[in-house]
Structure 1
Amino acid sequence: MSPDDITIVMQGIVVDDKGIDRSIINNIRKVTQHFPRCKIIISTWKMEPERNAQFCKLARYLGFAYIINDDPGITSKIKDGIRYVSNVNRMIVSSLCGIQLASASFVIKMRTDSYFTSDAIIDLLERYIVNDKFERHVGYSVFNHMVLNYNLFSRNARGYLPYLFHPGDILFCGYKDDVMSIFDVELADERIFKISKHGYFYTIMNYVPEQYILVKCIEKRTGLQVYSGNSQINNKLIVESEMYYINNFIPCDSGNIAFCWRKHKSHYHNKGRYSVYDYSDWMRVYNKSMRGLRTPIDRKFMIKKWLRFS
């Protein structure tokens, strides 16, 4: 597989209060260094004329393309004097507009606050997507091919944060049409906010952004309304969530794809790391659901399971 067949779309902010964000430019530079033959598209928001001129110069210097989008703004709702906000529409618009510009067969959708330390993901793309040998259940296959998914925050439906239908939204990699379809959905409105609680689980969101894009993608592609929101959870829905994930996504961790997203440590303090799928989790569910096989329980799995439910 040739790097010429891949476009990398980095979506998100490029400026801060002081001007062009140097950390973002460093991220872009690292990606261009490791993928010199891939087209790189930065999909961001309108900015002040002076900053826009600076950004254009940087684009020429580093050799990347870009699109400046109208900012759809935040989605919000005020309830009991509290304002709830979400950036889901910003993610949808910047991702979709950037991917639409791609002319290559494959797209890596990532964020501007992340970067790669090598081109290892190309080998995984060829192994798992181009030479895909995984069986798929037709009734749960939303995309034409599988999509690689950075496992933060691809929530394990049986973990201690039971967000169902929740892939990680930080990185998707696959055929252009499949990755584009994830974001080719209607914009969200205040209905994404709804307090839900059961047991120890509590959220102000009926759909968090990752849930919203997947549920709406499934609805648009199949006509099925699979999940009405976080107020619902039962074993049937857990199984449905698992089936949609294993038939459409393959989780990859930072080490597999040489990927760095520092915000998980700096802003989230590594929270939720045991609530997500890793590849061994995925294989256990896949083997059981698609092949009727049970993977032997090992010590690592038992420790991880204990941490998830403790």
Structure 2
Amino acid sequence: MLTSNLSIVFQGPVDVMTGQVYHALRQTRRAFPEAEMIVSTWRQTPAEDSLLTVRLQAMGVRLVLSDDPGPLVGEDASGRWHCNLNRLRQSTLAGLDAASHPLAIKLRTDTWLSSRALLCLLEQAVLQDAGPPRPPAYRVFRRRVINATWFARDPKGSLPFLYHPGDILLAGLTADVRLFFSAPPADASLFRPARMPGLWCAWRYVPEQWFWVHAIAQVTGRPRWAGNFSTSAQDVGDSEQFYLANFMPFTPRQLGLHWPKYWRRYPLRGLFSLYTPTRWRHRAGDGRPAPVRALFSRLLTGLWRGGYRLRAQLLRHPGLRRLAKRLFTTHRG
């Protein structure tokens, strides 16, 4: 069966005394009773690590522990900025390295799957390699990787983030998912505030961008994209083609994916900046949207883009950045 060839890796922090991660594991285990399940997190105290090991073993879940590399810290006139890129990289790679099956799903420890919908998608999109043709010049993965639409940025959308697939859920060949996270560790030189029409970003690359541009360079030998201050027409076109050739986005509902934190902290953030399955199929050459729907989407995308450009102008002021950081920034690896 497909599930006997599947490893599900949960990555992120774990509070051994609370029920959140145990709930996520139980829900996912109900949907995938035969899959290998792994939790990859950081060492805490010996007593906490021992208790977590015992609790997960009772659930049939393997525990992988890594030393916590800590956050990256950058500073500007508005204060200090934290980025958990190295935490995400180290714990995800450790979990994927422990995976023993040819197919893998990468999740966060605060997410879960409540249905087996992904099995059909893995069969069609990955094993059968269904979908529009993949231009050889833009192939990075052996097969397309399934991607949740959460934070899968459309370079032609309302926010000008390029090379930014979502990292909330990735599912595909284990070797391909591992390749995505195989970038080297980053250092504080990553902090280089980027200012452009519609975007103010504290980092030259956010984690998803760092991973993706390094994977592309590793496989294709192409120079890495320069980062969040480079948005030429060629950059936009290449960003889209690499996404279309290597990822296939699905909505959380289609995936059976649950992430309560999204609705608490991020509802409607980045609206009209994400790939939708319909938009992806249209761009990849697999069908066209209805003309009225396409026009409506363009109008709303343009409206939101104008709002983001105003926000980017406001964020040039350190005081407003400090306020925005307090209101909207969360730290998690």
**TM-score w.r.t. length of structure 2:** 0.87
What secondary structure does 1:78 align onto? strand
Which of residues 76, 81, 85 is equivalent to 2:82?
Answer: 85
Aligned to 1:249: 247
Aligned to 2:121: 124
Q: Which moved more, 1:170-179 or 1:200-209?
A: 200-209
Q: Which moved more, 1:79-88 or 1:236-245?
A: 79-88
**Cα distance in 1, alignment partners of residues 271 and 31 from structure 2:** 27
Matches within 5 A, 1:100-119: 100-119=97-116
Q: Which amino acid aligns with 2:5?
A: D
**Cα distance in 1, alignment partners of residues 149 and 98 from structure 2:** 26
Aligned to 2:231: 233
1:301 offset after TM fit, Å?
Answer: 2.9
Q: Write the deviation string for residues 132-191 of structure 1: whole angstroms up to 9, x where unpaired.
A: 133111111011111101111110101111100000011110011111001111011112
Gaps of 5+ in 2: 304-333
**Cα distance in 1, alignment partners of residues 243 and 198 from structure 2:** 24
- 1:70 maps to 2:67: yes
Given that 1:14 and 1:25 are in contact with CA atoms closer than 8 Å, whether structure 2 keeps it comes out as no
- 1:2 maps to 2:11: no
Given that 2:183 and 2:210 are in contact with CA atoms closer than 8 Å, whether structure 1 keeps it comes out as no
Aligned to 2:292: 299
Matches within 5 A, 1:196-275: 196-275=194-273
**Cα distance in 2, alignment partners of residues 167 and 237 from structure 1:** 15
Q: Write the deviation string for residues 53-106 of structure 1: whole angstroms up to 9, x where unpaired.
A: 221221122110110111111011233472121001111111111011111110
Which of residues 137, 140, 148 is equivalent to 1:139?
Answer: 137
% same residue: 30
Gaps of 5+ in 1: none
- 1:42 maps to 2:39: yes
Q: Which moved more, 1:239-248 or 1:254-263?
A: 254-263
Given that 1:185 and 1:217 are in contact with CA atoms closer than 8 Å, whether structure 2 keeps it comes out as yes
Aligned to 1:96: 93
**Cα distance in 2, alignment partners of residues 251 and 6 from structure 1:** 20
- More strand per residue: 1
**Cα distance in 1, alignment partners of residues 264 and 276 from structure 2:** 21
What secondary structure does 1:41 align onto? strand
Aligned to 1:12: 12
1:296 offset after TM fit, Å?
Answer: 5.0
Q: Which amino acid aligns with 1:93?
A: Q
Aligned to 2:330: none
